[in-house]
Chains A and B, each alone.
Chain A
Amino acid sequence: MPQTNGNGHAVAQTYVGTRTVRPDGVDKVTGRARFGADFSLPGQLVGRVLRSPHAHARIVAIDTSRAEQLPGVKAVVTRDDFPDQSSEFIPAGEMLINYRDVVRNVLAREKVLYEGHPVAAVAATSVAIAKRALKLIDVQYEVLPHVIDVVEAMRPDAPLLHEDLYTAGVEPKPAKPSNVAKRVEISLGDIEAGFAKADVIVEREFTTQPVHQGYIEPHAAVASVSEDGSTEIWCSTQGHFIVRAHCARLLGLDIGKVRVTASEIGGGFGGKTVVYLEPLAVALSKKAKRPVKMVMSREEVFKASGPTSGAHIKVKMGATKDGRFVAGYAELRYQAGAFQGSPVQPGVMCAYAPYDIENVKVIGYDVVSNRPKVAAYRAPGAPISEFAVESVVDELAKKLEIDPVELRLQNAAREGTKAAYGPKFGPIGLVDTLHAVEKTNQYTTPLGEWQGRGVASGFWFNIGGETCASLTVNEDGTVSLMAGTPDIGGLRASLAMVAADELGVPYEKVRPIIGDTGSLGFNFLTGGSRSCFSGAMAIVEAAKEIKADLCARAAKLWDLKADQVEFKDGHVRATGAGADKHTPMSVADFAKVAGKTGGPIGGYGRINAQGAGPSFGTHLVDLEVDPETGRVTILRYTVAQDAGKAIHPSYVEGQYQGGAAQGIGWALNEEYIYGADGKLQNAGFLDYRMPVASDLPMIDAILVEVPNPRHPYGVRGVGETPIVPPMAAIANAIERATGIRFTDLPISPPKVLKALRERGLNHPKNGS
């Protein structure tokens, strides 16, 4: 049955909205699918990285001569093998990248800025030789005092990471450099006037720790450079066009000479939108004249790939006694790691986005410190700021004696609400998600002793961006689909479904692949929850080209004018009088006569996708606290989120469940633990505690669909919003269970037990 959404695109939906089996699935359940480390080239060398043992030090000298002389070592690279880069900000995902910082993060130049910072790399004929070679590289360091904590790093007397870093966004420009890279601010209305109107004000401070994306697949890359500079890279990445751009830029290569193939990717969540090993592998291969394969160990992943920021947050909110929010203020201090670029800007923009508040002021600071440079992590910046705001909203609800869902409904952003960060919202689904949660069985199930229920909402903008995709009709009527954004978790299924419906061909006849950088025009990376949103749009454009072409061919065949044929329900049909003289022709019919009617049949979508619609979600959690140990057990969890249109409901549900699980880990147990020496103490899955199967219950996923009128299928990105609400939902539930408001993540057992003991509460009410 044809379905039309807001922007008038009408196509019979046989597949879209159903739960097909993904086309890349068999390879994934048989072990055949090739991830980053599964690829090898003949003659390849093993590459390994020498990393700084210090949190902060000046590099006095690097001597690689002994390593170079070791038999079996074919190349050694240091900062001398990478030309310096000037300062230039380019967008990558939701963050801005400065190449001067990128080249220094890839290999340290003047200083090492975190334990694990790469200093040199070797390529050798075996792992054992590579390891020995690293030990033969002599680096002289002048160890410097380090600073880890964000508030500490902002002090005027803190150890300075960059002598040329002056806080941007303040007037006048500061006289002295500092660790504060940037100050940002958004405001709406008059914040003081707003607080003056408030009957109830809640003011709180919060802290969060850096948490890692935690992908199970470590970074991996294989590079092969020919004598003429042609470069092939195979790597696990969320953006192979970005890898191409970075490698070309860092090594002075023509972009067209670099061809990057994205392997299957074993998780990214934003952490694989940057380069670490790829430029090193290319530089080594260029020197060694042989392919070089590099894979990170788990320890390297934790120590040297970007987690997200830890932060210090102040929130102050005012409401009238009947529950109207009148003022929302926040100060966010995010640490960026060794180089500037924390996601404080999106954090600032998202903090109050779920609400219609007249008076908002949010200030943010981007602060460097001696930790690995942060990388994007699923809705970067928003989980932190919204954790704080959603916790305060809950406190307001309690103070006002209004149900927390009702309070949110009263103040929810709706169509037409002007967001504090700028735009007016189109149709959005926050209210729907709140109602969906209220209607669940979970919402009214009675709870027992030491159990609590918490709710929180969340928002992420989502993006569109540059996207190219192609559809090719093969001689037998099958359709080859090529997309350009790595498939992190079900994209190929969704795009194949869209293509199948667009062209009226069976789903099984559409074979999707992710093309390499040589096969398509520029594609921005898989991030910002854009790959299905933009990819589907590009496929629609590609299909339009095919449909127009087939109509033209039919018109010629049938000797009709262009406006006397149309493509409908998978067939070109004649319209108007005498239409039944011409048998409708399907795509497969045309495939058989392609050559005779003009040549190969194909379409290409090249767009800069606009109109990404925000996705709002509301989470509901029931949990139990063991008062004698402080351990929190999640009993029940529901996610309700607006997908606009769920192309493949199972994979949309999967995003809700996966993001919620990451948020649960962030709330309860995940954190980077540093010693006083600035070194990471828990660089492994044993002590970096991510949720395991027995930690979680089933996670109920409610698909709300408020179509995005600017997308042919109504799609909204869904991947990132699910990680935004869990931390506050859990903190709110723990408050209901214990009467204690926890403001420092993770809310781990020692913290909970300490707080319970301080209040004499660490006993079960009925003694056992």
Chain B
Amino acid sequence: MRYEAPDSLDTAVALLAGARGDARVLAGGTDLLVQMRADILDPELIVDIKKIPETRAVTQEKGGWRIGAAVSGAELKEHGALKKAWPGVVEAANLIGSTQVQGRATLGGNLCNGSPAADSVPALIAAGAVATVAGPKGRRDIPVEDVMLGPRKLALEKGEILVSFLLPPRPKGSGDAYLRFIPRTEMDIAVVGAGVSLTADGAGKITAARVSLGAVAAKVLLVPAAAQAIVGSSLDRAAQDRLEAAARAACQPIDDKRGTVEFRIQVAGVLARRAALIALERARTS
């Protein structure tokens, strides 16, 4: 098994594109190493991208935030300005695993692991994040909701590396939140995840919203109908009911060792509502 740690994106892309056997990107390693140890993966080549500066930077860009794909959750939590602008994204990244896991796990890895239960992905989708990908044919941007196509299936070609995420500028009166349901208080994979990002006017009326659900379908969902259910409202009871119904209607979950179909559908509605309420409260006080 080869290990390379290039300090340039071009070298990394070339290594991946030219690999004959299975080649994997290493960022935090909190999924890759577990899968290797369990003999699920046996890559021929590991490309560690953490020495590539672009993947490790958090910068402001065009009024928004660009977050490197290999920035750890713990580092995001320590970034005061980012946390202020996008508390939902930062809290989602810091729900992954444990304190130790957050010390390594990255947004890029969480998305590219391809699990519909990934904690940070619903928050990124709700935020309207766009992933910048670099490959042999150059760069391209992909909305995060279009990156994961299904369990362990990504819209990336051979040789492509997810480099960074761009979060859009935040209008005044915006807030986001991510909630997940797990049976314990920590350490579980999300049984359901809900990310909501919204903007409200001075009167507390929602003028824009995005709602994303995780662990309830083969990929993380963007649910436009759920957003429509609350735009124009101040999340009164009726709007909450509409939101719950729309969230539930979008679910296509499975029965597995973490939850039943019935449970996931029911709780998806509850969490979407609760996340929206928190996001609205954050919007009011932002």
Contacts and interface: CB of A to CB of B under 8 A. Distances in A.
Instruction: Note whether A and B contact each other (Cβ less than 8 A).
Output: yes
B181 A749 contact: yes
B45 to A, nearest CB: 18
B186 interface: yes
A757 B270 CA distance: 13
B75 interface: no
B183 A692 contact: no
A492 B192 CA distance: 47
A110 interface: no
Interface string A684-727: 01110101101100000000000000000000000000000000
A97 interface: no
Contacts of B257: 673, 681-682, 687
A757 B259 CA distance: 16
B181 A629 contact: yes
A633 B184 CA distance: 9
Which of A299, A629, A757, A767 has the most C-beta atoms of chain B within 10 angstroms of its own C-beta?
A629
Interface residues of B, number: 21
A691 B184 contact: yes
Given A299-B38, A629-B270, A750-B259, A694 B183 contact: no
Contacts of B185: 633, 692, 694-695
Interface string B260-277: 101100110010000001
Contacts of B38: 299
Interface string B180-207: 0101111111010000000000000000
Interface in B237-281: 237, 257-260, 262-263, 266-267, 270, 277
B184 A695 contact: yes
Interface string A670-690: 000100000001100111010
Contact of A694 (B186, B260, B267, B270): B186
Contact of A629 (B186, B187, B267): B267
A749 B183 CA distance: 6
Contacts of B189: 686-687
A753 B184 contact: no
B277 A686 contact: no
B18 to A, nearest CB: 26
Contacts of A689: 183-184, 187-188
A768 interface: yes
A748 B267 CA distance: 14
A669 interface: yes
B241 to A, nearest CB: 10
A669 B188 CA distance: 11
Contact of A687 (B258, B260, B270): B258
A750 B260 contact: yes
Given A689-B184, A767-B237, A753 B258 contact: no
A628 B267 CA distance: 7
B183 A669 contact: yes
Contacts of A753: 263, 266-267
Nearest to A630: B263
Interface string A737-751: 000000000001110
A754 B237 CA distance: 23
A628 B194 CA distance: 15
A1 B259 CA distance: 60
Interface in B9-60: 38
A631 interface: yes
Contacts of B181: 629, 631, 749
A498 interface: no
Contact of B187 (A668, A686, A748, A767): A686
B63 to A, nearest CB: 34
A50 to B, nearest CB: 14
B87 to A, nearest CB: 20
Given A299-B38, A631-B181, A757 B187 contact: no
Nearest to B264: A750
B30 to A, nearest CB: 12
Nearest to B270: A628
A681 B255 CA distance: 13
B183 A748 contact: yes
Nearest to B185: A694
Interface in A299-320: 299
A695 B277 CA distance: 25
A352 B133 CA distance: 66
Interface string A279-305: 000000000000000000001000000
Contacts of A757: 266
A628 B258 CA distance: 17
Contacts of B262: 750, 754
Nearest to B98: A692
Contacts of B270: 628-629
Given A299-B38, A673-B257, A681-B257, A692 B263 contact: no
A232 B188 CA distance: 41
Contacts of A681: 257
Given A629-B181, A673-B257, A767-B237, A750 B263 contact: yes
Contacts of B237: 767
Contacts of A691: 184
Interface in A643-687: 668-669, 673, 681-682, 685-687
B153 to A, nearest CB: 22
A633 B183 CA distance: 10
Contact of B186 (A299, A692, A768): A692
B191 to A, nearest CB: 8
Contacts of B263: 630, 749-750, 753-754
A24 to B, nearest CB: 27
Contacts of B191: 749
Given A753-B263, A753-B267, A692 B258 contact: no
B1 to A, nearest CB: 10
A668 B185 CA distance: 12
B210 to A, nearest CB: 22
A754 B263 CA distance: 7
Contacts of A762: 266
Contacts of B259: 750
A743 B129 CA distance: 46
B100 to A, nearest CB: 12
Contacts of A749: 181, 183, 191, 263
Which of B183, B187, B260 has the most C-beta atoms of chain A within 10 angstroms of its own C-beta?
B183
B180 to A, nearest CB: 11
Contacts of A768: 277
A668 B183 contact: yes
Which of A685, A689, A748 has the most C-beta atoms of chain B within 10 angstroms of its own C-beta?
A689
Interface string A85-103: 0000000000000000000
Contacts of A299: 38
A750 B262 CA distance: 8
A229 B261 CA distance: 59
Given A750-B259, A768-B277, A692 B266 contact: no
Contacts of A686: 187-189
A297 to B, nearest CB: 8
Given A628-B270, A768-B277, A692 B260 contact: no
Interface of B: 38, 181, 183-189, 191, 237, 257-260, 262-263, 266-267, 270, 277
Given A629-B181, A631-B183, A753-B263, 13 more contacts: A299-B38, A668-B183, A669-B183, A669-B184, A681-B257, A686-B187, A687-B258, A689-B184, A692-B184, A692-B185, A748-B183, A750-B259, A753-B266
22 contacts: A299-B38, A633-B185, A669-B183, A669-B184, A673-B257, A681-B257, A682-B257, A685-B187, A687-B189, A689-B188, A692-B184, A692-B186, A694-B185, A694-B186, A695-B184, A749-B183, A749-B191, A749-B263, A750-B262, A750-B263, A754-B260, A757-B266
Interface of A: 299, 628-631, 633, 668-669, 673, 681-682, 685-687, 689, 691-692, 694-695, 748-750, 753-754, 757, 762, 767-768
For the complex of A and B, the 10 pairs showing the least CB-CB separation, nearest first, are A750-B263, A694-B185, A628-B270, A673-B257, A681-B257, A750-B260, A695-B185, A694-B186, A669-B183, A695-B184
